[in-house]
């Protein structure tokens, strides 16, 4: 599919094997809930996009995100070192996206955010299947991490198989839509250096998660999300679960075994909203997922500008429980690192 928005001005809905080459949101026939056609200014105001790159491993866990919300662009990066318990985190905001650049090509584009000597860059290359994050901060932190969506862990004499990403577009509210492309359970390469020390991500067996999302989301929304990645009995395992966004007709819930995507039904999150570091319970309606999560630390963002607001809490910690793919042996999850998230937004 070359473009998400078709000739009739509507997006193509469903689950896709690959991303559209372009999220051509300007071609969307955007309407008010009462059917009035809306113009370019309304499209600019209501279209939001973000990209996230997460790292998961025994020596390092963290994330980097860039978000463009029309009136403001937001960026953050944080790194947690489990052996020492040290956490580094930085947050940046730019009115009207000044100093930022966002591509609407999920597989072949660059998103950047620059503030003074702080530079954050998320790069995707279709010809290489490459996903890369590059961060340079004024405190000396340099993060350069990447992965390729191929089964590069294939054994001797085995052919590498392409990774199966989750690509989904669903209706949202009365007239909107959301597109998401997600990956988890891939090995990460690169280096991190700075106040926490120097780390070779491949040597430390670090895994990655990637999320590219955009669309005309609900003006006031909330969601919960969970993700994990790592080795289980010699297999690469990844997981992506959510409720609150992509649930109209289709869900984004799934897990990966050695790059193979396995869909999951709707999920329920149970947790203490006053203390998200308390244990979480996450279960799927179809019985394929039964997990608990124990938080170790969290990254928090709060923004209240009257016409815009965000209460974002991303918790990092360890998962325990069971994945039960239909017709296959169960997969026991015993202490894999990952994330959960509780997010309210008015935009």
Report whether pLDDT(158) > 50: no
Q: What is the pLDDT of residues 219-240, one digit of tens each?
A: 999 999 999 999 999 999 999 9
Give me the residues paired with residue 113 across strands: 100, 120
Residue 169: C-alpha distances to residues 132, 207, 250, 274 (Å) = 23, 26, 8, 32
- Report angle CA 191, 192, 196 to the nearest 5 degrees: 150
What is the spatial distance between Cα 124 and Cα 259, in angstroms, rounded to a whole number?
18
The residue with greater pLDDT, 156 or 233, is 233
What integer is the mean pLDDT of 280-288?
98
- pLDDT band at 157; cut points 50, 70, 90: very low
Report whether pLDDT(153) > 70: no
pLDDT of residue 159: 53
CA nearest neighbour of 253 among 229, 281, 284, 231: 284
Give me the residues paired with residue 221 across strands: 345
Q: How many CA atoms lie within 13 A of 246 on its CB side?
A: 27
Q: What is the pLDDT of residues 52-70, one digit of tens each?
A: 999 999 999 999 999 999 9
pLDDT of residue 254: 98
For 56, counting Cβ atoms within 10 Å of its Cβ (0-12 exposed, 13-18 middle, 19+ buried), the class is buried
pLDDT of residue 151: 52
What integer is the mean pLDDT of 249-275?
96
The domain limits of the chain are 14-346
- pLDDT band at 162; cut points 50, 70, 90: confident
Of 11-15, 126-130, 181-185, 295-299, least confident by mean pLDDT is 126-130
What is the residue-averaged pLDDT of the chain? 95
Share of the chain above pLDDT 70, in %: 97
What integer is the mean pLDDT of 329-338?
98
pTM of the full predicted structure?
0.95
Report whether pLDDT(154) > 60: no
Residue 40, phi then psi, degrees to nearest 5: -65, -40
Residue 206: C-alpha distances to residues 110, 128, 327 (Å) = 23, 20, 30
The residue with greater pLDDT, 28 or 304, is 28
């Amino acid at each position: 599919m070359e473009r998400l928005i078709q000739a009739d001005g509507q997006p193509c809905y469903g689950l896709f094997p690959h991303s559209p080459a372009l999220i051509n949101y300007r071609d969307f026939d955007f309407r008010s809930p009462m059917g009035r056609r809306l113009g370019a200014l309304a499209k600019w105001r209501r279209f939001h996009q973000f990209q996230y790159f997460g790292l998961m491993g025994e020596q390092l866990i963290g994330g980097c995100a860039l978000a463009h919300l029309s009136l403001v662009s937001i960026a953050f990066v944080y790194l947690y070192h489990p052996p020492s318990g040290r956490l580094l985190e930085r947050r940046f905001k730019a009115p009207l996206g000044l100093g930022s650049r966002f591509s609407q090509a999920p597989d072949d584009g660059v998103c950047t955010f620059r503030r003074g000597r702080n530079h954050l860059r998320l790069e995707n290359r279709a010809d290489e299947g490459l996903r890369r994050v590059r961060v340079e901060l004024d405190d000396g932190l340099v993060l350069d991490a990447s992965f390729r969506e191929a089964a590069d862990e294939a054994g001797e004499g085995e052919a590498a198989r392409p990774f199966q990403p989750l690509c989904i577009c669903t209706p949202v509210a009365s007239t909107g839509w959301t597109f998401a492309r997600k990956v988890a359970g891939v090995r990460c390469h690169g280096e991190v250096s700075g106040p926490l020390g120097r780390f070779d991500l491949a040597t430390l067996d670090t895994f990655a998660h990637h999320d590219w999302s955009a669309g005309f989301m609900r003006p006031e929304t909330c969601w919960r999300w969970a993700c994990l990645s790592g080795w289980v009995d010699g297999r690469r395992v990844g997981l992506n679960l959510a409720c609150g966004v992509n649930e109209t007709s289709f869900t984004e819930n799934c897990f990966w075994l050695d790059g193979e995507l396995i869909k999951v039904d709707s999920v329920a999150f149970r947790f203490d909203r006053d203390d998200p570091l308390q244990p979480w319970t996450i279960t799927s309606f179809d019985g394929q997922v039964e997990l608990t999560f124990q938080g170790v630390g969290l990254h928090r963002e709060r923004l209240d500008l009257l016409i815009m607001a965000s209460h974002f809490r991303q918790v990092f910690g360890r998962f325990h429980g069971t994945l039960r793919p239909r017709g296959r042996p169960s997969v026991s999850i015993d202490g894999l690192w990952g994330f959960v998230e509780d997010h309210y937004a008015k935009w």
